[in-house]
């Protein structure tokens, strides 16, 4: 996680962001710490990336990288406003003892500038067991998954085309609960993708009114799930599956297009 000390809306790169609306910094800090405390009560160990004043979205650490054990592939962001985060995350992983997987030479021009595909980490790539659900179409480019599958030796990749700009990352509209089950908001995906995903995993539909509260942007810790508040139907679905559910206020982060899962990266 990364503390919300410098979190605010300084630019608009998704439909949720509105500079004029802004965020309540004190309330955001309270909500961030509420999430932290719930996660710790659920048994999670938290490590922190130091906040950086010039990078207000660094708080959304889900986008840092794709992790598998001690090996990571660090993100390359689509929008210039977030591109400096790459170096911050890469340095953090390297100094913390992770193996940072190298990017192919073809992803760089003759001057060493990155020209390869965009990839936004565990915001767009989520494991359910050994299967990688891999989103593309809005923030991540489809072609990156050939490289990722080779680097991590992933045998099964389910490509997921996102079509609604309000749900621009996979983790805003899909959450694996375990190897076999997930919650999702189907209207965020193309019809073809919906069919492929239904064949790959058992899916439970989240209603549109709760998806507006980012119901699928949940943190799963063993048999415990942390979801944004105001999602009673989602809570009922999860509890029927035998999961313990915790609500967390996320109003200030939803203003920027994120919630519980966006604020965390599972290592």
The structure tokens 């410098």 sit at: 6
Q: What is the dihedral of CA 98, 102, 108, 113, to 10 degrees?
A: 20
Domains belonging to the chain, first-starting first, are: 25-263 (3.75.10.10)
Q: Return the pLDDT at 119.
A: 98
Q: Return the pLDDT at 207.
A: 97
Which residues are marked as active site?
169, 262
Can you list the positions of beta strands (E) in the chain?
A: 65-68, 71-74, 99-100, 125-128, 131-136, 156-161, 174-176, 181-184, 202-205, 219-221, 224-228, 244-248
Count CB neighbours of 98 within 10 A. Answer: 18
Q: Return the pLDDT at 55.
A: 98
Confidence of residue 193 (pLDDT cuts 50, 70, 90): very high
Rounded to an integer, the average pLDDT of 95-123 is 97
DSSP output for 213-267: TTTT--EEETTEEEEESS-HHHHHHHHHTT-EEEEE--HHHHTTT--TGGG----
Q: Return the pLDDT at 33.
A: 98
Q: Return the pLDDT at 66.
A: 98
7-49 confidence digits (pLDDT tens): 999 999 999 999 999 999 999 999 999 999 999 999 999 999 9
Phi/psi of residue 60, nearest 5 degrees: -90, 75
Q: How far is Cα 232 from Cα 235, in angstroms, rounded to an integer?
A: 5
Query: With contact defined as beta carbons under 8 Å apart, do 132 and 176 qualify?
Result: no
131-136/156-161 β-pairing: parallel
120-177 confidence digits (pLDDT tens): 999 999 999 999 999 999 999 999 999 999 999 999 999 999 999 999 999 999 999 9
Q: How far is Cα 150 from Cα 138, in angstroms, rounded to an integer?
A: 23
Confidence of residue 210 (pLDDT cuts 50, 70, 90): very high
Residues 6+ away with beta carbon under 8 Å from 8: 22, 23, 25, 56
pTM metric for this prediction: 0.97
Q: What is the mean pLDDT of the chain?
A: 98
Q: How far is Cα 20 from Cα 196, in angstroms, rounded to an integer?
A: 40
Q: Return the pLDDT at 85.
A: 98
Q: Return the pLDDT at 191.
A: 98
């Amino acid at each position: 996680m990364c503390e919300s000390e410098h979190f605010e809306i300084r630019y608009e790169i998704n439909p949720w962001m509105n500079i004029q609306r802004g965020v309540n910094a004190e309330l955001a800090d309270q909500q961030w710490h509420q999430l932290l405390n719930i996660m710790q009560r659920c048994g999670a160990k938290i490590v922190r990336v130091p906040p950086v004043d010039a990078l207000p979205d660094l708080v959304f650490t889900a986008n840092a990288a794709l992790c598998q054990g001690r090996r990571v592939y660090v993100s390359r962001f689509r929008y210039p406003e977030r591109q400096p985060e790459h170096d911050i995350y890469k340095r953090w992983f390297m100094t913390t003892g992770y193996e940072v997987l190298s990017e192919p030479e073809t992803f760089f021009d003759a001057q060493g500038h990155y020209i390869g595909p965009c990839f936004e980490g565990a915001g767009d790539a989520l494991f359910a067991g050994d299967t990688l659900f891999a989103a593309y179409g809005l923030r991540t480019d489809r072609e990156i998954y050939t490289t990722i599958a080779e680097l991590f030796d992933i045998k099964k990749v389910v490509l997921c085309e996102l079509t609604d700009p309000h749900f621009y990352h996979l983790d805003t509209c899909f959450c694996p609960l375990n190897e076999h089950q997930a919650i999702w908001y189907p209207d965020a995906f193309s019809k073809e993708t919906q069919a492929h995903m239904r064949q790959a995993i058992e899916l439970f539909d989240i209603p549109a009114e709760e998806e507006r509260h980012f119901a699928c942007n949940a943190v799963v810790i063993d048999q415990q799930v942390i979801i944004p508040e105001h999602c009673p139907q989602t809570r009922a679905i999860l509890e029927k599956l035998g999961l313990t559910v915790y609500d967390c206020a996320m109003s200030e982060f939803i203003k920027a297009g994120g919630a519980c899962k966006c604020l965390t990266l599972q290592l």
